[in-house]
Structure 1
């Protein structure tokens, strides 16, 4: 081992090379090596008993019950996550960015410790064993790099998601252009609130009312139960300087794909209850029954501008017309049931940014990649 990478300058001392290293230096090297290789040590601790059991007692594999237990253990997603150190704690659900940041921070910490190990081993003079150990630790960076690439790939799959459009009402050719600068991202439908189990770490947002205005948070945690803000009139009374609002737009999957690469377009063909423009609802759940098309939901941040508020008795003043513009930028309908409020903006330039979710019947990517089963088999609430 001492002459694995370096030539011994003092023949006959091969077996004493490690012994002549001071006790303090030995402890420091071993401690740094153990911390830097914590993953390998954990795997070794788990695999060694398994190898002993199935290596020295092979007859256990012949028993049907033991064989089935072994196979189920090897096939379990929790086992795969353990060996790949791809923790799937439910607390990470809907937080792919946090998950990647935690993994990346861990890799950075391990890398720094391994660099410290290499430097410390190299500065110990005249000891081939420590220098050889430094080379071994240096080679291990290849595996750290591969691991970081895998983590980044996992992050991209979830947080830079692109649907696989299927069973569309109209055949479309997706543009080769980049997404609109207003398009923040698609989200996989498996992250939505209606996919949650309600168990620890996989619950909805408990803040009531919730003041989080991040589009991702609203869609992921409140897709069926959320009114993102008070009515427009109430919001203006409490915060007169406010000019933005969160709205929800339901449309077909192929229309959503086109919007992602371009922009919204005004509806200018009757009947249009609030006049010609682009329609949004105040809550996701209450877009059902109002929208003429289904297949995708869009959550958008909107600059409201000057708002004309109407009630049911005033709808005739705005129906099938755009004469309310340019005096007003938006028509806001105060419904008798405030959950069913909706509004119409005149111009697509008022829409600042959006995120989209394509329904499961028009997106096969989640099922093809196993993303809809990503959080199965997590009874231990960790892996």
Structure 2
């Protein structure tokens, strides 16, 4: 647990070290093939092989432009790192005088510096969209890869010049570092979007199940991504559409507030097939559900609509009904044949399952529509779900996910 969080906090340093090693390797090999070891990769077989002037000025310009474009990320990181390291070397007083040293140390520790070094944009539209953030990183890496491949091809096309061909080999070697960078970006994305909670705050006796996650389980969402935490910044606002037609479970959790009802009352729908329901339980039970499935409630005092699995129309609607709290589940449900239960019939089916023979679900119409709830008789009716473990989940703070976009210096960093 600790090792994973330490590795996550070390991502920025790994990006820096990768950039430095890539720069050192590229520069070192280029010096070797240019000055001392021209035949490091290829042998001179033609009189013009070692003559760089034979390449032509235009070709040299094209090679330089492609090289700079393909290594833009590495160049920026390397220049920034060396400038930061040279500042105290040139002006030693920065480390001796607190007035100079403190701002310098603060700059090194700031999250904006960390984001810059890892090319992790702080644009508000990415805060609630980890997948989009990774997609943009992936596009950048694909762009850099294409530029480097174009340079390799161009260098090999040039006839009778060992230097350009050797440079192509050096660029090909640099793909190793690009792969490392891609893996670091993917790990960063994986922590956010393929999130797994840590329940150390709830109980020391709970053991995480070793069985695979249910096929119905889509993902866990970190609690700080819930819609109640959206801001007024462009791209990070909550969905303002009161009649939002987006039935994506992630959208419902991330861009809508706790009291949001994704759909009208079931019997007011034109197409009565699938319905969005919310369930609340404790974190331990939620984890067990994620690795197996829902269980039928059979206790007399908890089964107003009879035996079954209970859901409300919103997260807020579960607060007054749930016997356990701390974890929210948003599920898409196949309602099947639905029994309508009115207010005066609320206790008619308590502790029973009489309606199971003729119906698949029972829907209770409360006098207040926001308090409606429904019950299904079989867990197979639940098609998929996502979960949020609230602040009992210690991983958000342990990994610093809730503070990753703090200390903003500008709108993008």
Which shifted more, 341-350 or 121-130? 121-130
Cα distance between partner residues in 2 of 1:287 and 1:329: 21
> In the aligned structure 1, how far is the partner of 2:132 from the partner of 2:398?
24
Given that 1:268 and 1:277 are in contact with CA atoms closer than 8 Å, whether structure 2 keeps it comes out as yes
Cα RMSD, aligned residues only: 2.2
3-state SS in 2 of match to 1:81: helix
1:211 aligned onto 2:250 = no
Q: Secondary structure at the match of 1:280?
A: strand
| Corresponding residue number in structure 2 for 1:195 | 229
CA contact (8 A) 2:48 2:160 kept: no
Structure 1 residue runs of 5 or longer lacking an equivalent are none
Residues 250, 291 of structure 1: 8 Å contact kept: yes
Paired residues of 2:66 and 2:148 also in contact (CA < 8 A):
yes
State the alpha-carbon separation in 2 of the partners of residues 161 and 48 from structure 1.
35
- 1:342 is matched with 373
CA contact (8 A) 1:89 1:378 kept: no
Distance 1:374 1:47, change over 3 A: closer
1:365 aligns with 2:399: no
Distance in 2, matches of 1:167 and 1:56, equals: 48
Give the corresponding residue for 1:254.
284
Instruction: Report the equivalent of 2:52.
Output: 18
Determine which of 273, 278, 298 is the counterpart of 2:329: 298
Q: 1:223: how far off?
A: 4.3
Deviation per CA, 1:163-218: give whole Å up to 9, x if none: 11124369433332101111111111121122333323322122222111111111
By how many angstroms is 1:88 displaced? 3.3
Change (3 A) 1:167 1:72: closer
For residue 34 of structure 1, what is the aligned residue in structure 2? 68
Out of 328-337 and 61-70, give the one that drifted further. Answer: 61-70
Match of 1:118 among 136, 152, 158: 152
Name which of 55, 58, 64 aligns with 2:98: 64
Correspondences of 1:95-174 after superposition (within 5 Å): 95-168=129-202, 171-174=205-208
- For the 8 Å contact 2:231–2:238, the answer to whether it is kept is no
The separation in 1 between residues aligned to 2:120 and 2:186, in whole angstroms, is: 12
TM-score, scaled relative to structure 2: 0.85
Aligned mates of 1:265, 1:13 — CA distance in 2: 75
255, 259, 262: which is aligned to 1:221? 255
Q: Distance in 1 between matches of 2:358 and 2:44?
A: 88
1:205-237 alpha-carbon deviations (Å, 9 max, x no partner): 2222211111111111124141111111111xx
Q: Is the 8 A contact 2:216 2:383 kept in 1?
A: yes
Q: TM-score normalised to the size of structure 1?
A: 0.91
- 1:301 CA drift (Å): 0.4
Structure 1 residues 77 and 332: CA distance shift in structure 2, 3 A: same
Distance 1:325 1:216 in 2: 31
The verdict on how the C-alpha distance between 1:204 and 1:379 changes in structure 2, with shifts beyond 3 A counting, is farther
Pair 1:279 & 2:299 matched: no
The 10-residue stretch of structure 1 (53-62 or 31-40) with the greater mean CA deviation from structure 2: 53-62
Distance 1:170 1:348 in 2: 30
- Cα distance in 2 for partners of 1:113, 1:280 equals 53
Residue 121 (structure 2) pairs with residue 87 (structure 1): yes
1:319 and 1:50 mapped to 2: Cα distance? 70
Indicate the structure with greater helix content: 2
Deviation of the 1:7 alpha carbon: 4.7
Cα gap change, 1:52 to 1:18, in 2 (>3 Å) = farther
Residue deviations 1:243-297 (CA, integer Å, cap 9, x gap): 0000000001111111111111111111221121111000111211211101211
Stretches of structure 2 lacking an aligned partner (at least 5 in a row): 1-30
CA distances 1:58-109 after superposition (whole Å, capped 9, x unpaired): 3344332221111111101111111121223221122222222221122112
Count of residue pairs the alignment pairs up: 376
